[in-house]
Amino acid sequence: MLTRRTTLSKFLIEQLKNSPDGQALAALFIDIAAAIKAISAVAAKGALEGNTGSLSTTNVQGEVQKPLDVLTNDIMLHHCDWGGLVAGMASEEMEQPYDIPAEYVRGRYLLLFDPLDGSSNIDFNVAVGTIFSVLDHGQGAAPTAADYLQPGKRQVAAGYAIYGPATVMVLTVGQGTHGFTLDREIGNFILTHPNLRVPEDTDQFAINASNERFWEPPMQRYVQECKAGKTGPRGRDFNMRWIASMVADVHRILMRGGVFSYPRDNQSNKNGRLRLMYEANPMALLIEQAGGLASTGRGRLLDEQPQSLHQRVPVVLGSRREVERIEQYHREFDAGTDKPFVSPLFNERSLFRPEARA
């Protein structure tokens, strides 16, 4: 019923009515929501606007940029720089933070974002997203690069938008995790998924298993045990999903449960693949606020002290008990007390053993 629906602004004003400076934070969300609506419209055009393929430019991480990486970055910047709400912005697509132009008033928040997450999927019409994190800088001097380097536990808000069949924005201001669906006819985000909760247990894991041979033993152990299913130490079957858009994988976990990991490896992801400040931290806050856990494998993600704006970090997040199990495997490995799992397919009586086949 149209008259009973909770719009994003109504929800935010209600949630933030007792927090100091809550109105400014609500106003910032309205600007972010406007940017997300613009990105949603651009993404929905697909190949019609000539936004497919790659550019000849690379970003600070050396990744080839897509036209939409650059366009969505500009959309975020120019929806949020003029309103007197942010002190500065940082993005996956910019080496240095963006200073608020002199003609605009500087606000108190630092806004960090990945404007287009999963951009390798954009040409194939697979869901992509935008991830954002809000830190407090306080009113005053222009922020230095060091002012951005706050641990994730100091985020005042975080969220993402997923551009799938529907555009959904999921956010937290530290009072639970809530989902809003864009009603395109009206142009409003409507509260459709209040108080999301990640189930404690799961039988789904999400990981790029093509890197398995490069992982550390505790991750190999965890995934091998899942894959062994009923006949393995877990005694039940698991299912695997990997969309290669973090936003889409995390969204599924928030709706259905599961564990997501992009671990470190000994090849091209020595510190993990995902960026701490604008991918891992906001997702970690959303997952914790929904009752899940987010870890590096060796400690709480939100406690990580960032050393640089674009640093990467190993990520394990989702259903509480699975994340705890993966942390336990890391502890056992580090202490030298782990017992790596050997599949029954390769045990002494296995048909796969060379001597059994001889």
What's the sign of the alpha-carbon dihedral 278, 281, 286, 287? Answer: positive
Query: Which residue has the closest beta carbon to ligand AHG?
Result: 246
Query: What residue 296 binds from Mn ion, ligand AHG, none (CB within 5 to 8 A, per partner kind)?
Result: none
Query: What residue 54 binds from ligand AHG, Mn ion, none (CB within 5 to 8 A, per partner kind)?
Result: none
Q: Shortest Cβ distance from residue 19 to Mn ion (Å)?
A: 29
Which 56-95 residues touch Mn ion, going by CB under 5 A? 92
Q: Shortest Cβ distance from residue 265 to ligand AHG (Å)?
A: 10
**Residue 319, SS3?**
coil
Q: Shortest Cβ distance from residue 331 to ligand AHG (Å)?
A: 25
> Closest by alpha carbon to 284, among 239, 244, 323, 241?
323
Shorter beta-carbon distance to ligand AHG: residue 81 or 92 = 92
Site for Mn ion contains 249 (CB under 5 A): no
Shorter beta-carbon distance to ligand AHG: residue 198 or 246 = 246
Query: What residue 304 binds from Mn ion, ligand AHG, none (CB within 5 to 8 A, per partner kind)?
Result: none
Query: What residue 245 binds from ligand AHG, Mn ion, none (CB within 5 to 8 A, per partner kind)?
Result: ligand AHG
Residue type at 243 in one-letter notation = I
- Answer for the pair 112, 148: CB distance below 8 angstroms, yes or no: yes
Query: What residue 93 binds from ligand AHG, Mn ion, none (CB within 5 to 8 A, per partner kind)?
Result: none
- Answer for the pair 187, 26: CB distance below 8 angstroms, yes or no: no
Residue labelled with tokens 């600007």: 31
Give the interface with ligand AHG as residue ranges (CB under 6 A): 63, 92, 114, 117-120, 208, 244-246, 262, 273
Please spell the DSSP secondary structure of 71-117, one letter per residue.
HHHHHHHHHHSSSS-EEEEEETT-SSPEEPPTTS---SEEEEEEEEE
- Distant-in-sequence, close-in-space partners of 164: CB < 8 Å, separation ≥ 6: 127, 248, 251
Q: Shortest Cβ distance from residue 275 to Mn ion (Å)?
A: 7
Shorter beta-carbon distance to ligand AHG: residue 221 or 251 = 251
Q: List C-alpha distances in Å: 337 to 167, 297, 328, 347.
A: 46, 16, 11, 21
Query: Which residue has the closest beta carbon to Mn ion?
Result: 117
- Answer for the pair 196, 177: CB distance below 8 angstroms, yes or no: yes
Binding mask 280-299 for Mn ion (x = CB under 5 A): --------------------
- Answer for the pair 321, 203: CB distance below 8 angstroms, yes or no: no
Shorter beta-carbon distance to ligand AHG: residue 106 or 117 = 117
Q: Shortest Cβ distance from residue 114 to Mn ion (Å)?
A: 4
Residue type at 121 in one-letter notation = N
Among 31, 81, 117, 327, binds Mn ion (CB under 5 A): 117
> Closest by alpha carbon to 171, among 323, 327, 331, 32?
32
Alpha-carbon Rg of the chain, whole angstroms? Answer: 21
Shorter beta-carbon distance to ligand AHG: residue 115 or 232 = 115
How far is the C-alpha of 206 from the C-alpha of 263, rounded, in Å?
11
Q: Shortest Cβ distance from residue 278 to Mn ion (Å)?
A: 8
- Answer for the pair 67, 53: CB distance below 8 angstroms, yes or no: yes
Shorter beta-carbon distance to ligand AHG: residue 262 or 341 = 262
How far is the C-alpha of 286 from the C-alpha of 173, rounded, in Å?
9
Q: Shortest Cβ distance from residue 93 to Mn ion (Å)?
A: 7
Cα 282 to chain centroid distance, Å, stands at: 6
Q: Shortest Cβ distance from residue 221 to ligand AHG (Å)?
A: 21
Among 25, 40, 107, 114, binds Mn ion (CB under 5 A): 114
Q: Shortest Cβ distance from residue 98 to ligand AHG (Å)?
A: 18
Question: Residue 137, CB half-sphere, CA atoms under 13 Å: how many?
Answer: 25
Query: What residue 65 binds from ligand AHG, Mn ion, none (CB within 5 to 8 A, per partner kind)?
Result: none
Provide the binding-site residues for Mn ion, judged by CB under 5 A. Answer: 92, 114, 116-117
